[in-house]
Structure 1
Amino acid sequence: MTTVIEVQNLTKRYKDKRALDNVSLSLEEGAIYGLLGRNGAGKTTLMSILTAQNFASSGEVRVFGEQPYENARVLDRVCFVRESQKYPDDAYPRHAFKAASLFFRNWDQGLADQLIEQFQLPMKQTIKKLSRGQLSAVGVIIGLASRADLTFFDEPYLGLDAVARQIFYDRLLEDYAEHPRTIILSSHLIDEVANLIEKVIVIDNGRILLDDDTDAVRDRAVTVVGDAEKVDAWASGREVLHRESLGRVASITVLGGVSADERAEITASGLDLAPVSLQQLIVRLTQKAESATKVIAVKEGVR
Structure 2
Amino acid sequence: MTLGIDVRNLTVRFGDVVAVDDVSFTLSGGKIYGLLGRNGSGKTTLLSLLAAFAPVRQGKVLVGGAEPFENSAVTEKVCLIRERSIAPDGTTVKDILNDARVFRPAWDEKYADRLLDMFQLPRKKTVSRLSRGQQSALGITVGLASRASVTIFDESYLGLDAPTRYDFYDELLRDYMEQPRTIIMSSHLIEEVGRLFEEVLILDRGRLVSHEETDTLLTAGAAVTGPAHLVDEVTQGLTVLSQQQLGGTKSTAVYGKISEDAQARARSAGLEIGSLGLQDLFVHLTREREEPT
What TM bracket, shorter-length normalisation?
A: over 0.9
Cα offset, 1:3, TM superposition: 6.5
Three-state SS of the structure 1 residue aligned to 2:200 is strand
CA contact (8 A) 2:222 2:274 kept: yes
Describe the superposition over 1:245-280 as per-residue Cα deviations: whole angstroms up to 9, x where unpaired: 335544332233445543331123343212201111
**Separation in 2, partners of 1:148, 1:206:** 27
1:295 corresponding residue in structure 2: 291
Describe the superposition over 1:62-84 as per-residue Cα deviations: whole angstroms up to 9, x where unpaired: 11111111111111111111123
Residue-pair matches, total: 291
CA contact (8 A) 1:78 1:149 kept: yes
**Separation in 2, partners of 1:243, 1:84:** 36
1:229 corresponding residue in structure 2: 229
- Aligned AA (1:295): E
Cα offset, 1:18, TM superposition: 1.1
Three-state SS of the structure 1 residue aligned to 2:121 is coil
**Separation in 1, partners of 2:196, 2:272:** 29
1:98 corresponding residue in structure 2: 98
CA contact (8 A) 2:255 2:281 kept: no
**Separation in 2, partners of 1:228, 1:38:** 33
**Separation in 2, partners of 1:230, 1:55:** 56
Matched, 1:171 2:171: yes
1:191 corresponding residue in structure 2: 191
Three-state SS of the structure 2 residue aligned to 1:166 is helix
TM-score normalised per structure 1: 0.91
TM-score normalised per structure 2: 0.93
Three-state SS of the structure 1 residue aligned to 2:273 is strand
1:125 corresponding residue in structure 2: 125
CA contact (8 A) 1:32 1:196 kept: yes
**Separation in 1, partners of 2:236, 2:257:** 15
1:83-162 equivalent positions in 2, closer than 5 A: 83-162=83-162
CA contact (8 A) 2:3 2:182 kept: no
Structure 1: stretches of 5+ with no match in the other structure: none
Matched, 1:253 2:249: no
1:77 corresponding residue in structure 2: 77
Q: Residues 167, 9 of structure 1: CA spacing in aligned structure 2 closer, same or farther, 3 A cutoff?
A: same
- Aligned AA (2:198): E
CA contact (8 A) 1:83 1:156 kept: yes
1:249-288 equivalent positions in 2, closer than 5 A: 249-258=249-258, 260-287=260-287
Structure 2: stretches of 5+ with no match in the other structure: none
Cα offset, 1:10, TM superposition: 0.7
CA contact (8 A) 2:221 2:257 kept: yes
Three-state SS of the structure 2 residue aligned to 1:59 is strand
Describe the superposition over 1:10-44 as per-residue Cα deviations: whole angstroms up to 9, x where unpaired: 11111221111110011112111011122221111
1:44-83 equivalent positions in 2, closer than 5 A: 44-83=44-83
1:190-209 equivalent positions in 2, closer than 5 A: 190-209=190-209
**Separation in 1, partners of 2:261, 2:20:** 42
Cα offset, 1:170, TM superposition: 1.3
Q: Residues 147, 271 of structure 1: CA spacing in aligned structure 2 closer, same or farther, 3 A cutoff?
A: same
- Aligned AA (2:266): I
Three-state SS of the structure 2 residue aligned to 1:34 is strand
Three-state SS of the structure 1 residue aligned to 2:168 is helix
Describe the superposition over 1:96-150 as per-residue Cα deviations: whole angstroms up to 9, x where unpaired: 0110011111111111111101111122321001111100011000000000011
Q: Residues 295, 146 of structure 1: CA spacing in aligned structure 2 closer, same or farther, 3 A cutoff?
A: same
Matched, 1:242 2:241: yes
Cα offset, 1:160, TM superposition: 0.3
Alpha-carbon RMSD: 1.7
**Separation in 1, partners of 2:90, 2:230:** 67
Cα offset, 1:201, TM superposition: 0.7
**Separation in 1, partners of 2:100, 2:264:** 57
**Separation in 2, partners of 1:252, 1:166:** 31
Q: Residues 246, 262 of structure 1: CA spacing in aligned structure 2 closer, same or farther, 3 A cutoff?
A: closer
Describe the superposition over 1:201-249 as per-residue Cα deviations: whole angstroms up to 9, x where unpaired: 11111111110111111111111123333322222223x1413233554
